[in-house]
Structures are given as C-alpha cells and as structure tokens.
Amino acid sequence: MIDLETIRTMLRHNDWANGQVFDAVGPLSDEQLDRPVEMGRGSLRRTLVHILCGELVWVKRWRGQAETPWPDEEEPAGVATMRDRLARTQRERDAFLHRLSEAELEQRLTYRDSLGGRFTATLGGMMLQLCLHSAHHRAQAVNMIRRAGSDPPDLDYMYSVRKPAGT
C-alpha cells in the first residue's frame, strides 16, 4: 500500500525535476524547442506540453471530474506559459492532497484513457502514475536538451533531497 507521505515526497521530487527541466529549456530558441526528433512527442516543446497535459489530466481523474478529450498539444505554448500552467495545476493538486486521508488512497476510481478505454485503479496508484508518466517524458526531454547542444539537468532524486554534511 502506498501512503500519503510517500505520495507527497514523490510529488515534491516531481515538481523539483519539472522545474529543473524548465530552467534548462528557458534559454533555448524556438528552433531548438521545435526541432524534430524521433522520440517523445516529436520535439522538445511537444514533449514539455505533453508533460503539462498529463499532469492536468491525472489531477482531473483523481477528482473524478468528467473526462474530456486529451488537451490540445498542438498549441504553440511558450516556456513561461507552460510553467504558469504547470504551477496552477500543482496548486490544484496540492489543495486536493491537503484534504485527502490515507483511507482514500485505496478508493477505486474508474476513468477513460486518452484512447477512450475504461480502466479502474486505486487513487494511490493513479497518483503514482502522474509521477511516473512525467519522469518518463522528462527523461526524453533531457535527451532532447542534450541534442540541442545545451547542458541537461541532473534529475536524480538524491540531488533534490541531499544536504551538505555538517562538520
């Protein structure tokens, strides 16, 4: 069974890692963001938009909101706009988490995926999926950042939590 503190820890790392990726792509040109690549969603920008859309969709699924089609990933969103949308989704997610109890993590929810298939999973499992989905696409984004000739961030979990040792 997954517990709330583990979910919160994973989401804090998820937020930190997303921030690292967005910091790394900030200086890139539109040409670098839109350069076609044969991985992810076909370009760095589309992959970033996909991460954003995935986070939005999973939070809606957690809340049991009526399924809508997957958000439009073709909108030419700038890095600042994507960061703002991601921050808004994170605030909505955190408000939801604040009211959540341990017992609710075992609640089974039914949702439709982006292809229309119906699935049932525990709320805790769905929360874990948000982190894993983003991690998968962040790994693609890091590779794309490297290919664009920029320094990719190191997203290892320990970088997000370690502190200098005291003397």
Q: What is the DSSP string of 88-116?
A: HHHHHHHHHHHT--TGGGG-EEEEE-TTS
What does the alpha-carbon distance between residue 26 and residue 150 come to, in Å, rounded to a whole number?
Answer: 11
Residue with the bigger pLDDT between 133 and 114: it is 133
Q: Are 61 and 111 in contact (CB under 8 A)?
A: yes
Structural domains counted in the chain: 1
Sign of CA dihedral 46, 51, 56, 60: positive
Enclosing domain of residue 92? 4-151
Whether residue 167 lies inside any domain: the answer is: no
pLDDT at 114: 79
Q: Are 8 and 102 in contact (CB under 8 A)?
A: no
DSSP state of 150: S
Question: Residue with structure tokens 């600042």?
Answer: 80
Residue 56 scores a pLDDT above 80: yes
Per residue in 148-158, pLDDT (tens digit) is: 999 999 998 88
Whether residue 78 lies inside any domain: the answer is: yes
pLDDT at 30: 93
Surface-to-core class of residue 121, CB atoms within 10 Å of its CB (0-12 exposed, 13-18 middle, 19+ buried): middle
Residue 18 scores a pLDDT above 80: yes
Q: Are 123 and 105 in contact (CB under 8 A)?
A: yes
Whether residue 156 lies inside any domain: the answer is: no
Per residue in 99-111, pLDDT (tens digit) is: 999 999 999 999 9
Whether residue 114 lies inside any domain: the answer is: yes
Q: What percent of the chain has pLDDT over 90?
A: 72
| Domain harbouring 94, CATH code | 1.20.120.450
Arithmetic mean of pLDDT, 65-90: 83
What does the alpha-carbon distance between residue 135 and residue 87 come to, in Å, rounded to a whole number?
Answer: 17
Q: Are 56 and 86 in contact (CB under 8 A)?
A: no
pLDDT at 66: 66
pLDDT at 44: 95
In this prediction, residue 37 has a pLDDT band, given cuts at 50, 70 and 90, of very high
In this prediction, residue 26 has a pLDDT band, given cuts at 50, 70 and 90, of very high
| Of 5, 9, 10, nearest in space to 131 by CA | 10
Whether residue 163 lies inside any domain: the answer is: no
Q: What is the DSSP string of 20-83?
A: HHHHHHTT--HHHHH---SSTTSSHHHHHHHHHHHHHHHHHHHTTPPP-PPPPS-S---HHHHH
pLDDT at 77: 81
Whether residue 166 lies inside any domain: the answer is: no
Whether residue 159 lies inside any domain: the answer is: no
Query: How does the average pLDDT of the chain come out, rounded?
Result: 90
pLDDT at 167: 58
Whether residue 85 lies inside any domain: the answer is: yes
